[in-house]
Structure 1
């Protein structure tokens, strides 16, 4: 009962927060308000988070209540496929966010100015291409699904409680691992590089401000710096939960796993989708401005100062 409450609360709170962000950005777009280039990516990330939470949290809540193997083979294939696509979207879109923000805050010169303009134009088409990419990348995921009610005679089976998946061996194990891991490894590597570069730029800017001793210049004053802090916090949350979950998933693929480990892995896989909207709301000063714009009210003075 405690586990079911935990998974249900995680799913409900996460879907509520992501739906709030989706509605804000959609209403602002329809009403003609000017959005930042990263706001459409936040919208797509929130949509992917909702799919990830529903495809993982709802079945896991049923399993925690003791209702196992309640899905047929078709339901298992659709559920696991949607979760894999949504998980890949969260990874790729978060990578795009960190890379785009690293370009935006890079030092201004004659060559980088044109590159920044082109990056702003291509960021939305690039994010839209992530959807068909992951849809086709994970197309073979349902192939390995087996009916959980008729999987007793198969030895290498990974059980999720509501679904079962054949663990490949030999050449196919290496092939599937490479196909699924290579894009993830590239995205995580790019995120770490972009984060390191942004931290370096912020540190150098902080040192310059200290050297000139100018009280009117603030390290946190510019909108670009505030957006950078938001994305750094978002990416750090994603990478930490992603690495821990990958270690648990790799262990469960090769070793007999206790029930608590399976539940822990499921909780971690939904941790970032559930918490990311609240990270954005609490750290992005533009979100309160958007809320006031929807209500037809002017921002409070302290909110307006923080967003400038």
Structure 2
């Protein structure tokens, strides 16, 4: 248990640091160069993950609300709502990344090819819809969450150190679980479908290249590298999502959260926003080149 807690202390710091690096890099690319559609999404995803990790650490938020003399019940609702919105944005933007990359690499004779000329326009509309949907979708949960009190501990389900779900009947509980599950299953299904489509395209492309060149002389194109990165992110997200889903659903149905389960779930929730920037950093040649230049300059200075 102590070793897991040590990981939980290290994990948020690493995640915030890596996502901040990506956020600055993609912001620079967007402002100073011609960005790719995926750059805009990756920039937004980095920002969402920074805020997601920080709001998941309810200790510092509690201190801020206390310093502003804000009531515990309001701070609990605000923190819970913001974190749920950010988690919804994370899954939606990841799904959007997968869809747009599938459109980008689709052959010119495919049905998706007609969306290529207006990718940026469709992306801006998608951002507006995603933010509007998640801000409204998570608002219903505000009425069923409040500050944790030991006096009524038997009727509450503790979800953070200072926050808990308030009592609700089985019909409302089942309805909330059904709606949330339906949204997530749909988005995960879209991710898996587009991922399978991209794998098929990459396989066909590789098979065609084998007839033209020797495998040893093949170079990985930027599009192929970006596709492989997004596929890896989707696979990792789906795995982490289902682990979190099983824990959350079981605890929600039983109306009981064990402290150890809370710790494990916290690790699972932070795993994706921590690993995502590390995968992107290691696969983006532009960022790797920038880091190499910075390293060489630092070596010259010292």
Structure 1: which 5+ runs fail to align? 63-70, 298-308
The residue aligned with 1:96 is 96
Cα separation, 2, equivalents of 1:149 and 1:57: 20
Secondary structure at the aligned position of 2:149 is classed as helix
Q: Give the Å deviation of 1:35.
A: 1.3
Alpha-carbon distance, 1:110 to partner: 8.0
CA distance in 2: counterparts of 1:219 and 1:229, whole angstroms: 16
Q: 1:72 Cα deviation (Å)?
A: 1.4
| Shift in Å, 1:182 | 2.2
Q: Which residue of 2 aligns with 1:27?
A: 28
Q: 1:144 to 1:173 in 2, by over 3 A?
A: same
Would you say the 8 A contact 2:85–2:138 is kept in 1?
yes
Specify the alignment match of 1:84 in structure 2: 84
Distance in structure 1 (CA, Å) of the matches to 2:116 and 2:216: 24
> Does 1:131 pair with 2:131?
yes
Give the distance between the partners of 1:284 and 1:13, measured in 2 at CA.
Answer: 19
| TM-score for both structures, normalised by structure 2 | 0.85
Any conservation in 1 of the 2:58–2:79 contact (CA below 8 Å)? no
Separation of aligned partners in 2, 1:112 and 1:44: 24
Asked whether the equivalents of residues 205 and 219 of structure 1 are also in contact (C-alpha less than 8 Å), the reply is no
* Aligned mates of 1:137, 1:129 — CA distance in 2: 12
Whole-Å Cα distance in 1 between the matches of residues 143 and 132 of structure 2? 19
| 1:209 to 2:190 alignment | no
Q: Distance in 2 between matches of 1:83 and 1:106?
A: 35
Is 1:73 the counterpart of 2:73 in the alignment? yes
Paired residues for 1:6-155 under 5 Å:
6-30=7-31, 32-59=32-59, 72-109=72-109, 112-149=112-149, 152=152, 155=155
After superposition, what is the alpha-carbon deviation per residue over 1:117-151, rounded to whole angstroms, capped at 9, x for unaligned? 12343123312432222111111222111331265
Q: 1:292 Cα deviation (Å)?
A: 7.1
Query: Helix, strand or coil for the counterpart of 1:76?
Result: helix
- Matched residue, 1:305: none
Q: Give the structure 1 partner of residue 6 of structure 2.
A: 5
Contact (CA 8 Å) 1:98, 1:191: kept in 2 or not? yes
Q: Is the 8 A contact 1:219 1:225 kept in 2?
A: no
1:276-287 equivalent positions in 2, closer than 5 A? 276-287=276-287
The alpha-carbon deviation at position 159 of structure 1 amounts to 3.9
Q: Is the 8 A contact 1:145 1:164 kept in 2?
A: yes
Going by fraction, where is helix more abundant, 1 or 2? 2
Aligned-partner SS, 2:139: coil
Q: Is the 8 A contact 2:37 2:119 kept in 1?
A: no
For this pair of structures, how many residues does the alignment match?
A: 286
Residue 161 (structure 1) shift? 2.6
**Cα offset for 1:289?**
4.2
Q: Is the 8 A contact 2:159 2:257 kept in 1?
A: no
Alpha-carbon deviations, 1:237-268, whole Å to 9, x = none? 11111111110111111233432211101110
The aligned counterpart of 2:67 is none
Q: Is the 8 A contact 1:11 1:58 kept in 2?
A: no
